[in-house]
């Protein structure tokens, strides 16, 4: 509906230019992803040429190479890709939904819920394989809390954002409580989880979360039309026959599922979901369904690159990838706030 209206107004040459630009960005993103993936598979304590690594990925060549690539490097790289894609799309949907450039799963309480879920399972002494399930459940639980608190004859944007902050604060307190009460070595692994890390992922986790992620991404693309109508504002969207509250809840739910799946795989990695929508908007202009897909690609590239920085470029061992994404995200955020504040009238005080 909106895209039709938009396209009717734009001239065909502008449309072609935009489309060409999106295509160019998408192919650049794919090339970058492929290059990063080959770096991730080839580098490490045991270096190997890219061809050997790719052959080892499908099970050919020296058994030692196959073991290293298939069991250690590939799951970690693919976990970063899947989680990054989920975070990117989730951030895109949330920012458009709330019309707020700072909305992201980090401030909505989803990451807090995922941390709490994972940390409680660590506390209960559950096996390593169950922890991602706990993170997923925690993320969904936080969304439920958010819905319960924020619902009041419809979902107003401001209330949802502020309630998200409250939910996040409460969940963070619970995580903090567990970390203080833990014995020291458990506290370390809990903290590692709550900062976000793709260290030690297995194929089971990657396939499970990856499958669910693909399904959730498909649902997001199907729901994209509603998102586009919501972009017009509540009144116009209502006049067009869309039930705004219902549509907003559906989209919110999908975004939360995406972010929770990402958190199940990589922990609550901050700032990817915040930064990706801005990068995509900067590159391709007004949002479309294609740019939503591009957001997934950008998120994957960003998280994989950050993980490579953690693994190979930093002198200290064992840093969580979340620390790098936060460090890269902070200046980004400052730029964002400064740029945003310019048009506001400043009193001559």
Q: Using the minimum distance from each CB to other proteins, give the nearer residue, 282 or 338.
A: 338
Q: Are 225 and 217 in contact (CB under 8 A)?
A: no
Q: Give the separation between CA 237 and CA 244, rounded to whole angstroms.
A: 7
Count of positions on this chain that bind other proteins (CB under 8 A) = 60
128 sits near other proteins (criterion: CB under 8 A) = no
With CB under 8 A as the contact rule, the residue among 24, 60, 330, 335 that binds other proteins is 330
Residue 334 in contact with other proteins, rule: CB under 8 A: yes
318 binding other proteins? (CB under 8 A)? yes
- Residues with Cβ within 8 Å of 304's Cβ and at least 6 positions away in sequence, in order, are 33, 36, 37, 40, 77, 80, 81, 84
CB nearer other proteins, residue 159 or residue 281: 159
Concatenating the DSSP letter of every residue in 306-345 gives HHHIIIII-SSTT--HHHHHHHHHHHHHHHHHHHHHTTS-
Spatial distance between the Cα atoms of 82 and 213, rounded to a whole number of angstroms = 7
Identity of the residue, 240 or 334, whose beta carbon is nearer to other proteins in the bound complex: 334
Stretch that binds other proteins, among 89-97, 123-131, 233-241, 339-347 (CB under 8 A): 339-347
Instruction: Tell me: does residue 263 bind other proteins (CB under 8 A).
Output: no
CB of 37 or CB of 310, closer to other proteins: 310
Among 177, 239, 246, 335, binds other proteins (CB under 8 A): 177
Residue reference for tokens 């994209």? 224
Interaction of residue 94 with other proteins, rule CB under 8 A? no
Binding of residue 338 to other proteins (CB under 8 A)? yes
CB of 283 to other proteins, least distance (A): 22
Selected from 33, 56, 93, 150, the binder of other proteins by CB under 8 A is 150
State whether the Cα torsion 337-338-341-347 is positive or negative.
positive
Check residue 344 for interaction with other proteins (CB under 8 A).
yes
Minimum gap (Å) between residue 34 Cβ and other proteins: 29
Q: Which of 66, 191, 219, 289 binds other proteins (CB under 8 A)?
A: 191
Tell me which residues in 58-87 interact with other proteins (CB under 8 A): none
Which listed residue (10, 71, 204, 327) binds other proteins by CB under 8 A?
327
Minimum distance, C-beta of residue 251 to other proteins, in the bound complex (Å): 19
Tell me if 313 contacts other proteins by CB under 8 A. Answer: no
- Calculate the dihedral angle through the C-alpha atoms of 94, 118, 317, 54, rounding to the nearest 10 degrees: -70
- Residue 311 binds other proteins, judged by CB under 8 A: no
CA diameter of the chain: 72
145 SS3 class: helix
Q: State yes or no: residue 235 binds other proteins (CB under 8 A).
A: no
- The stretches of the chain forming alpha helices (DSSP H) are 2-9, 12-42, 50-57, 63-67, 74-98, 105-108, 110-123, 131-150, 157-181, 184-195, 203-230, 234-239, 244-266, 272-284, 289-308, 321-341
From 44, 61, 147, 170, residue interacting with other proteins (rule: CB under 8 A): 170
Question: For residues 145 and 151, what is the distance between their CA atoms, to the nearest angstrom?
Answer: 10
**Shortest CB 148 distance to other proteins, Å:** 10
Complete DSSP assignment for 70-102: IIIIHHHHHHHHHHHHHHHHHHHHHHHHHT-TT
Q: Compute CA distances 288 → 98, 128, 178, whole Å.
A: 17, 39, 43
Tell me if 312 contacts other proteins by CB under 8 A.
Answer: no
Interface with other proteins, residue 329, by CB under 8 A? yes
**Chain residues in the site for other proteins (CB under 8 A):** 100, 102-103, 106-107, 149-150, 152, 156, 158-159, 161-163, 165-170, 172-174, 176-177, 179-180, 184-185, 187-188, 191-192, 194-196, 270-271, 274, 316, 318-320, 322-323, 326-327, 329-330, 333-334, 337-338, 340-341, 344-347, 349
């Amino acid at each position: 509906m909106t895209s039709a209206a938009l396209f009717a107004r734009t001239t065909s040459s502008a449309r072609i230019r935009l489309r060409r630009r999106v295509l160019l960005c998408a192919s650049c993103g794919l090339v970058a992803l492929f290059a990063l993936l080959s770096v991730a598979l080839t580098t490490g304590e045991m270096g190997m040429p890219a061809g050997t690594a790719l052959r080892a990925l499908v099970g050919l060549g020296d058994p030692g190479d196959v073991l290293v690539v298939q069991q250690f490097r590939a799951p970690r790289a693919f976990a970063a890709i899947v989680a990054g894609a989920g975070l990117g799309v989730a951030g895109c949907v949330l920012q458009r939904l709330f019309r707020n450039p700072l909305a992201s799963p980090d401030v909505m309480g989803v990451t807090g819920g995922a941390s709490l879920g994972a940390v409680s399972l660590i506390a209960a002494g559950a096996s390593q394989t169950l922890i991602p399930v706990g993170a997923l459940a925690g993320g969904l639980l936080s969304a439920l809390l958010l819905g319960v608190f924020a619902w009041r004859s419809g979902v107003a944007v401001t209330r949802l954002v502020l309630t998200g902050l409250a939910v996040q604060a409460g969940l963070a307190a619970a995580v903090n409580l567990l970390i203080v009460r833990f014995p020291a070595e458990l506290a370390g692994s809990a903290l590692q989880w709550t900062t976000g890390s793709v260290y030690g992922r297995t194929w089971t986790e990657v396939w499970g979360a990856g499958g669910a992620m693909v399904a959730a991404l498909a649902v997001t693309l199907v729901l994209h039309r509603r998102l586009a109508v919501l972009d017009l504002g509540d009144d116009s969207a209502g006049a067009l026959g869309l039930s705004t509250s219902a549509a907003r809840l559906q989209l919110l739910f999908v975004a939360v599922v995406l972010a929770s799946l990402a958190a199940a795989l990589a922990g609550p990695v901050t700032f990817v979901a915040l930064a990706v929508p801005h990068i995509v908007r900067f590159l391709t202009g007004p949002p479309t369904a294609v740019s939503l897909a591009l957001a997934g690609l950008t998120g994957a590239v960003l998280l994989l690159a950050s993980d490579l920085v953690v693994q190979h470029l930093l002198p200290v061992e064992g840093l969580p990838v979340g620390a790098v994404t936060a460090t890269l995200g902070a200046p980004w955020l400052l730029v964002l706030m400064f740029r945003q504040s310019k048009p506001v009238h400043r009193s001559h005080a």
